[in-house]
Homo-oligomer: A and B are copies of this chain.
């Protein structure tokens, strides 16, 4: 009954390989080799490669948003001076998103946003994958909107910050640099201050 275990192992392999090399260049046999899960079992768990791709994106979405939220909530900290309670100032919480992007970009093996990459690769040919990408982006955007709303700032700002974040992800991938996160953060601060001056909380 370790089919739950096999599933996780398959998804671990899928995540490593799909994210690292792209989806189309990874064969089901590679998944089997990396995961140790036999082809037969793989096809029991995921009736087609596309299902595995969708499941990979789904699981990554949950974890990605969780890690972001944990950082914003201040549960995780390692930036020099440790401050105890985490981010409580609602505007600081908004800007913390960009700090977290910088951490993400610096992780070894960072190769851009898995959803943007998948969309470029399969958005035109696989509706389920395109749907998964849209769902993830919508969720991220709504999370941002929540943070911005909590700070008493308008929805328009949250949309603009979203664009900055997306631009930073793409650029960090193409330039293979974490710098775009900091630049986006500085731009975000200007926008927040600008909106905050007219409609502060």
Contacts and interface: CB of A to CB of B under 8 A. Distances in A.
A124 B137 contact: no
A124 B20 contact: yes
Main secondary structure of the interface of A (DSSP, over half): helix
A186 B160 contact: yes
A122 B22 contact: yes
A164 B137 contact: no
A190 interface: yes
Contacts of A168: 163, 167
A184 B191 CA distance: 12
A171 interface: yes
A116 B170 contact: yes
A133 interface: yes
Nearest to A195: B190
Nearest to A133: B174
Interface string A17-28: 000111011000
A125 B167 contact: no
Given A22-B121, A187-B160, A170 B171 contact: no
Contact of A167 (B120, B166, B190): B166
B22 A124 contact: yes
Interface string A112-134: 10001111111111000000011
Contact of A119 (B118, B174, B184, B194): B174
Given A156-B183, A167-B167, 14 more contacts: A20-B124, A22-B124, A24-B121, A111-B123, A112-B120, A116-B120, A117-B120, A119-B173, A123-B173, A160-B186, A166-B167, A166-B171, A187-B191, A190-B194
